[in-house]
């Protein structure tokens, strides 16, 4: 059984699944400080609502995960408030934005879009832990979790397409696995995992969920509750694994 966090950090708290995590964690009485990171925290209704409801327990942090300097500055800002983080949760992800759309065929592949996807989905989440890791407790349980996607599983790829997102999520998975090995040498009870949230009704999935049945489409609160159940039950042996919302392990 995992330890409940006292100091938790959620990246991507402006909207979507990240905002859902922040809402639910803020309701947990044991959470003394909740760091909510976003590109523009002052413009997020979700973060404003949290601050209104929970006051100084909520600490907004400015973070553009595609900008290495911003990641370092965000970690430094957190360190001004605490010398300890029990949970580091990354929920940031990018599938589409304006002209950037998931590729349906080879002709759609664009080098710039692949690089952008890698920056947000794969490199940024690793840099985040690079800068925050020194706040993890060395001997007590701590959690480093990142939202990946089942489409990033190489062995589970049956449909093809979505080159940039699939590859960036596969890279995120490899970086998470590699990170889990190094972290475990320094932080004896770390649980560093990748998670698949299911198909969730957010802006990210909106254009692509036409064929998803109602029983397979989760709302944010549902997915967050499932994922928190997974996170709450993590054990030492779970470090370096990839879990779906229902606790099933996904092959890398």
Ligand X SMILES: NC(=O)c1ccc[n+]([C@@H]2O[C@H](COP(=O)([O-])OP(=O)(O)OC[C@H]3O[C@@H](n4cnc5c(N)ncnc54)[C@H](OP(=O)(O)O)[C@@H]3O)[C@@H](O)[C@H]2O)c1
- Helix, strand, coil percent values for the chain (each to nearest 5): 45, 15, 35
Under the binding rule (CB under 6 A), the answer on residue 23 touching ligand X is: no
Q: What are phi and psi of 80, to 5 degrees?
A: -75, -20
* Shortest Cβ 139–ligand X spacing (Å): 30
Under the binding rule (CB under 6 A), the answer on residue 5 touching ligand X is: no
What character string, x for contact with ligand X (CB under 6 A) and - otherwise, covers 108-127?
------------x-------
Applying CB under 6 A, which of residues 2, 143, 199, 239 lies at the interface with ligand X?
Answer: 199
Applying CB under 6 A, which of residues 2, 8, 10, 14 lies at the interface with ligand X?
Answer: 14
Task: Compute the C-alpha angle 118/20/216, nearest 5°.
Answer: 80
**H or E segment and range at residue 242:** strand 242-244
Give the pairing of strands 87-90 and 142-147.
Answer: parallel
- What CA–CA distance (Å, rounded) separates 124 from 194? 14
What character string, x for contact with ligand X (CB under 6 A) and - otherwise, covers 57-96?
------xxxx------------------------xxxx--
- What CA–CA distance (Å, rounded) separates 91 from 47? 15
Under the binding rule (CB under 6 A), the answer on residue 149 touching ligand X is: yes
Please count the residues of this chain forming the interface with ligand X, following the rule CB under 6 A.
Answer: 28
If one counts every other C-beta atom within 10 angstroms of the C-beta of residue 59, the result is: 19
Applying CB under 6 A, which of residues 17, 59, 74, 127 lies at the interface with ligand X?
Answer: 17
* Shortest Cβ 202–ligand X spacing (Å): 3
Under the binding rule (CB under 6 A), the answer on residue 204 touching ligand X is: yes
Q: What are phi and psi of 108, to 5 degrees?
A: -80, -10
Under the binding rule (CB under 6 A), the answer on residue 41 touching ligand X is: no
Site residues (vs ligand X, CB under 6 A)? 12, 14-18, 38-40, 63-66, 91-94, 120, 147, 149, 196-197, 199-200, 202-205
């Amino acid at each position: 059984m995992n330890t409940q966090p006292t100091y938790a950090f959620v990246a991507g708290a402006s909207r979507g699944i990240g905002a859902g995590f922040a809402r639910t964690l803020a309701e947990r009485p044991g959470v003394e400080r909740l760091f909510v990171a976003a590109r523009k925290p002052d413009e997020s209704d979700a973060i404003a609502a949290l601050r209104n409801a929970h006051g100084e327990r909520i600490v907004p942090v400015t973070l553009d995960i595609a900008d290495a300097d911003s990641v370092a500055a965000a970690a430094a800002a957190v360190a001004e408030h605490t010398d300890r983080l029990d949970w580091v949760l990354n929920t940031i992800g990018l599938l589409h934005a304006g002209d950037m759309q998931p590729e349906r065929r080879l002709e759609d592949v664009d080098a710039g879009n692949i690089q952008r996807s890698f920056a947000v989905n794969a490199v940024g989440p690793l840099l985040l832990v690079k800068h925050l890791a020194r706040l993890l407790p060395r001997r007590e349980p701590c959690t480093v979790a990142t939202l990946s996607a089942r489409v990033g599983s190489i062995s589970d790829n049956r449909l093809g397409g979505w080159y940039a997102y699939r590859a960036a999520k596969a890279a995120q998975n490899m970086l998470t696995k590699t990170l889990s090995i190094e972290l475990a040498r320094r932080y004896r009870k770390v649980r560093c995992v990748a998670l698949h949230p299911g198909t969730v009704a957010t802006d990210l999935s909106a254009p692509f969920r036409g064929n998803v049945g109602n029983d397979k489409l989760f709302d944010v609160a549902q997915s967050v509750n499932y994922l928190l159940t997974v996170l709450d039950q993590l054990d030492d042996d779970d470090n370096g694994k990839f879990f779906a919302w229902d606790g099933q392990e996904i092959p890398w």
